[in-house]
Every structure is written in structure tokens, then in C-alpha cells.
Amino acid sequence: MLTLAWIVAVLAACLVLAYVNASGRAWVTGIAVALAASWGLSALPLVANLLLTVAFIVLALPLAVPALRRKLVSDGVLAAFRKLMPPMSQTEREALEAGTVWWDGELFSGRPNWRRLLATPRPTLTPEEQRFLDVDTEELCAMTTDWEAATVYRDLPPHVWQFIKERGFLGMIIPKEYGGLGFSAWAHSQVVTKLSTRCGTAAVTVMVPNSLGPGELLLHYGTEDQKRHYLPRLAKGFEIPCFALTSPNAGSDAAAMPDFAFVRWGEHEGRRVLGLSVTWDKRYITLGPVATLLGLAFRVYDPDKLIGDTEDLGITCALIPTSHPGVEIGRRHMPLNAVFQNGPNSGRDVFIPMDWVIGGQPMIGRGWRMLMECLAAGRGISLPSSNTGMSMLAVRAVGGYARVRTQFKTAIGRFEGVEEPLARMGGNLYMMDAARMLTASAIDLGEKPSVVSAIAKYHITERARQTINDGMDVIGGKGICMGPSNFLGGAYMQHPVAITVEGANILTRSLIIFGQGAIRCHPYVLKEIAATRETDREAASVAFDAALFGHVRFMLSNLARTFVTGITGSHFVRVPADIAPATRRYYQQLTRFSAALAFLSDVSMGTLGGALKRKEKLSARLGDILSHLYLCSATLKRFEAEGRQAADAPLMHWAIWDAMFRAQTALEGVISNFPNRFIAAVMRAIVFPLGRPYVVPSDRIGRDVARLLIAPSATRDRLTATMYVGKDDDDPVGLIERALVATVKAEPVEAKLKAAMRDGRLDGRLPPGAGVEVLTERAVAAKVIDAEEARALVAQRELAARVIRVDDFDADLGASLGKQMQGSLQPQAQPVRHRVAA
């Protein structure tokens, strides 16, 4: 019995030491105390005590001496690690090192510091930014629609282009000292979000120059002369920029671009100068057909060694006026009937002077890192904002429509079958907007969160796809008949563009999120990799030893934390005491899943090694876990930042339950598909010792969410706060809003009529073709309702009829619209150039 008690005590002590991530010295001390207790209590036979003592002296004590430990263990592991580590290209290395680690690092730690998250300032707009959103952006929204742009102009109308330039929309990120607006990332995000609730073409046109492109690259890497020449012209719209990265054979694998340049002497403006002879073929370049300034990425070679001893100098970025001889640009693509300017460009042996390289000659070969650094920030703003905006449009308009539209004498929004997609729409939007807000906050704090940006891009665009699809299912035929009154069809057609650009979603999920996250966010892996590249033998040994044994303690700690929190249901996990009581369990469970993610990641990397890079499904699922932890963090942060609005709680609860169930499914997916089945069984016992705790959001929560969407309320307004609602009488969203208010007002009147017809006080039988006016006249005469109530019901029916109406056209639809579109659809069409004299 004493022996058993000693063994149990030792195991418990080891679990505690691991749980708290104790130092090596604490482990040695703990083992020594256990041995002393065994000798003193005779808990083990003499031979066992002797063997354990010898093992302690031979193994444990040397491990406590760093110099001895390095010679016995670390140096050998370092040598093996160098042989086993898969080769890493320069572009892969730059992609991994680009950007910064932020809250994603906390989620990978196994013990997130929730205080740090809650202390993150909520983004706010300056008075100038708020005025721009409320006045200039509102005015721009009122100036055009997707239908007008797509069917009449095949572009933004000329007066809209001029407005965008004059009001500074193209220079939001450019500092005021260079003539721009100098807006924050949050202001940039808010403007793009609002525009996206109205006109996707306008949103993309404004979004692209303020994202990855010449302006962003010049700000961070341009010479002072380049900044002072180009930035004021870009800010005022005198130059229209585009950036050409994608090639026909280098899309998602952009680093493999075949576009090239040779260093050589040439003529420029009558002088012989050193420069580059560039050949390229690009496609999918937004604003390319109307651009006056082309940002271009290509690989530079110096075969004659004119600027150094290296021939392959690497990827480089340059700025080329599109009027420069040899630049072929102007043709258009037609991306899913969207009419934002997008097209190919090319050039062959186009000579440019060296000072057209962004940052000048010293920045040759630095282009890939430049692009990755800027993409880390830009990808976290543009697509998350535009997709959140489209989702706001879907949620507000479809929610209102579901209350106005009736079938079987019941508002369709009250059918359980419709409540289900409405619940998804509301819960997804709440989480999407929370993630948009948190990511913009990080960027405004100076972070360049490459992993977080990839998470935001992938998951917000995917949830937007689900939201728009759900909206189309609810509105049915209203959504598939195109015309001025169709508020969702344009978003439905154009949304796949967001899935494709700035890193195709399939590859973002399977390669980027965990591929970067495992190395960047892990507290030791990047240090271990850096040690393998260290040329100083002693420095490499010291650095690798510290990282290796820190990694071992980290893994043991997360193993213990995963198991203990699983056994206890995470009920004893410490979380901030001042959080909303309704969310306390979420923080605890997220901490548990954080430890599980860190543990599974270490097991996967340790057992699969470089092969994990090719196990894309496992990598994707591990990335899903990290992603859903981030989305849940953003949701909880939003709930706290908005003052714990009790009316909004159903949205928060639905979003958390949905994301945690998905994270749990991803955990199960990793374990169920792990190649080594014995290790998989052990992982399952550690991660889910008492089974899986999460299920899908309940029908009750879903019903509560759906009801929030189909009635005017402060919650509905907060959920769609950045939404543009047109004031014109025939604006489809504004019409739904008026009809919704009228429907809520008329429903009690209809209830009175139904009750009166049931008890025989009102004859509800109407002659064929008779309208509601006949019934209300009878009801007023029978004193069932008064005249004002009758007018309210008649007005509601008129508005409802306008809401559900779909567009129709003359019988010669193809001819009448085709004539308008014919010119822009011809293969040899050339778009109008938008040049403005300085």
C-alpha cells in the first residue's frame, strides 16, 4: 500500500510540475525529494531505490548542468535536426519571417493571457474620420448602384470616378504630409465595409489602392524622392495605381513567378543609365485597365555582374508609368459579371532606369519580403471589410424581407426552416464583424499580423459565402431575377472573387494558416530553426539547447494541462474575475482547447517532421483549431467592448457554440486521421478523456437570433451599424426597411381582423379581385378597427407588394440590354482611360 501511495504521489507531483511548466531545476529537486522519501519511508525495495538513485545521478543531474547537457544531448539532436529539416527556400524563409506575432501567439501558448486581449483598445474613429464616413462615404453610396454600374456603364459612372478622386478615397492610407487623408486602419475598414453594403464595384475601386499596391509599398520602402513625387499624385487621383503580381503560371505560388529582368545599360530620356530590361506577363490585375502607374514584381538577374557578385538577385518591385514604351495594358477581364476594372498586362524587354525600383537599387532582391510584410496588414483589412459589408447587406435586408413576406398567412421568418438559415446569418455576421474589428485594432497598434490576417481573410470570406447563400435561399425567386430591385444577386455572383484573390482559400487553409502559425506562433520552433542556421558553433549549441529543453517543458506542460482540464471539464481554469458571468465557461474552454492545440501541434511536428508539410489535411485541421480560437476571442472581446449588451447575447452565444463545435470537430479530425494509430489513441485519451463537450448551437438560441433579425431593434442596428440604407423611394433596402416598420405596426391590426372573422363579427369573404381595402372598410364599419388602423394595414400591403415584386423587361431583353453592353463585351474592346492632369 505504501508503494502504491508513493507511486501515486510521484505521478501527481509530476503532473503538477508539468502543468505549471516548472524549470529543469524544479524537476531535479522534485525527483530528489521523491527519492529521499522513498529511502526514508522504504516505499520501494532496496534494489529499486538503488537503481533509481543511480539513474538519477547518471541522467538527471547532468541534464541540470547546461554545458554537460549540450555535449550529451543537445549537440547530437542539433546535428540530426539539421539533416532532417526539409530545405527552405529564400522566399519561404521571408514569408515565415514577415509580419509579427500577436494574439495568435497567446492562443498557441496553451495558456492565453486573457487580460492582454481585454486590454486591447477598442478601435475608434477621429472626428475627421467619422465625418468622412457619415458624409463623403454616404454620398458616394448614394451616387451609384451595382445594377447601374454593371448594365449601363460597365464601370463606375464618370462622375463617380471624379468624386472618388476629388474626395481623397484613393489616398486614405497616405499620410497628410504627402497630401493623403492619413486615416487609421479602422477608418479604412469602416469605409470599405460601408461601400460594400451598397456597390461592390465602388468598394473594390477604393479598396485596392489602399491595400497592397504602390502606395503601401512606397510608404514603407520608397526613397524620399519617390514618396514626394508619387504619393501626392496618388492621394489626389492624378495617378491611378495597380500592382501586378499574378502570372498565368504563378498564381497561388506567386514566388515562382516567371517574370524576369536583366541588369544592363540602356537609354532613358537621352542619357545612358544603368537599369533593368524587364519581361512580364500578368493577369487578374485590379485597376490595371485604367491604371496610369503600374507596380510590378519580377525576378532580377545580373549575368554580367554589373552590381555585384550574385547572378540571381531575387524578386524585386518597381513602378512603371503605363505610358512607358513597351507596356501593354488596357484589356479587361470580366470577373463573374463584376465590372470593377481588372485585366492583364505585359511587356517584353522593356527598359526602365534603376531609380524606378521601389527603394532604389539597394532594394533589388528585397521584393518578396516587402510584399509579405505589406500583405500581412493589407489582407487583414480589405477582404474582411468588403465581405463583412456584403454580409451586413444580406442580414439586414433578408431579415426584413422575411418579416414582410408571408406564405400560408405567416411571415416566412417565423417558419423553423427559415429560422435556421437566419440564425446562421446573424451569428456568423456577429463573429465576422468582431474579427474584423479585432484585426484592424492590431494593425492600428502597429502589428503586422500575418497569421491573423490569413485567418481573417479565409474565415470571414467563407462565412460571408455561407451568409449570402443562406440569404438567397430565404428570398428565393426575388434573388435570382436580376434588376434594380434585386439587392442580393450581385453579391451572390461576385462573392467567389473574394474566395480566390489574395491567397486562394483552399491553399490559405491547408498551407498558410498552420504552416506559418506553427512556426511563427510557437514559442520555440522558430528559435530551433534559427539555431540550425547559426554558423557560430558555440552560439548555435547554446541557442539550440535553450530552445530544445524549453520546447520539451512546453510540450509536457500542455500535455498535462490538456489532460487535467479535460478531466475537470476546465472548471478550475483561472480566468479574469471581472468578465461577464455568462462568458466565464467560454474562456475556460478556450484555454483548454488552446492547450490541446499546442499539444497536438507538438506531437504532429515531432512524429511527422517534414512530412507534416505534405499532410495538408492535417495541417488544415490544426489551422482550423487556431482559427476558431481566434474567432471566439474576437467575439468575446466584442461582447465586453460593447458593454455586455444582454439583448445581443443570443448572437454571441450562437457564434461561440458554433465555432467551438467546429474547433472540437477539427481536433477530432486530427486524431481520427493521424497516421500512427497508437499515438492517435493516446492523444484521444488525453484530449477527450471524458468525451467531447460541445454540440451544435441549440434550436432555442437559433430562434432567438432569428427573431432579432426580423424586427427593428437596437441589436439589429448594432449588428449592421455600418450599413448604408438608401433614402430614395425605390431603393430596395430602404423599401424593405419602411415595409418592415409598417408590417410591425400592421400585425396587431391583422390579428384583430382574424379574431373578428373567427367569432363571426366580420365577414372575411371577398369577391374575386377585391383588395384589402374592402376588408378594412367592413372592419371599420363593424368597429373592429378604426380608420387609422385601416390606413396602416392598407399602406403595409402596398409596401409589401412592392418589396416582393421582381423586375421584368421588354420582350427584346437581349437586344435592349445587349446594345448597351455590346461594346464592352467585344474581344478587342479598350476601356476608357481615367487620366487627370496634375
502 tagged catalytic:
yes
Q: What are the grid coordinates assigned to 704, written together?
A: 432567438
Q: What is the dihedral of CA 217, 222, 226, 232, to 10 degrees?
A: 50
The pairing of strands 342-353 and 410-411 is unpaired
Q: What are the grid coordinates assigned to 387, written together?
A: 465581405
85 vs 612: CA distance, rounded Å: 11
Q: Are the beta carbons of 217 and 370 closer than 8 angstroms? A: yes
Q: Are the beta carbons of 109 and 557 closer than 8 angstroms? A: no
SS3 (DSSP) at 710: coil
CA 650 to chain centre: 23
SS3 (DSSP) at 40: helix
The DSSP line for 215-280 is HHHHHHH--HHHHHHHHHHHHTTSS-EEEE--BTTBSS-GGG---EEEEEEEEETTEEEEEEEEEE
447 vs 123: CA distance, rounded Å: 14
302 vs 548: CA distance, rounded Å: 41
261 strand-pairing partners:
278, 300
Q: What are the grid coordinates assigned to 731, written together?
A: 431603393
> Which of 216, 419, 502, 789 is labelled catalytic?
502
The per-residue b/e assignment along 84-103, b for 16 or more CB within 10 angstroms, e otherwise, is eeeeeeebeebbbbbbbbbb
Q: What are the grid coordinates assigned to 368, written together?
A: 518578396
The 3-state secondary structure of 4-33, one letter per residue? HHHHHHHHHHHHHHHHCCCCHHHHHHHHHH
Q: Are the beta carbons of 741 and 713 closer than 8 angstroms? A: no
Q: Are the beta carbons of 531 and 540 closer than 8 angstroms? A: yes
SS3 (DSSP) at 283: strand
663 vs 124: CA distance, rounded Å: 31
The pairing of strands 406-407 and 293-301 is unpaired
Which residue numbers are catalytic? 502
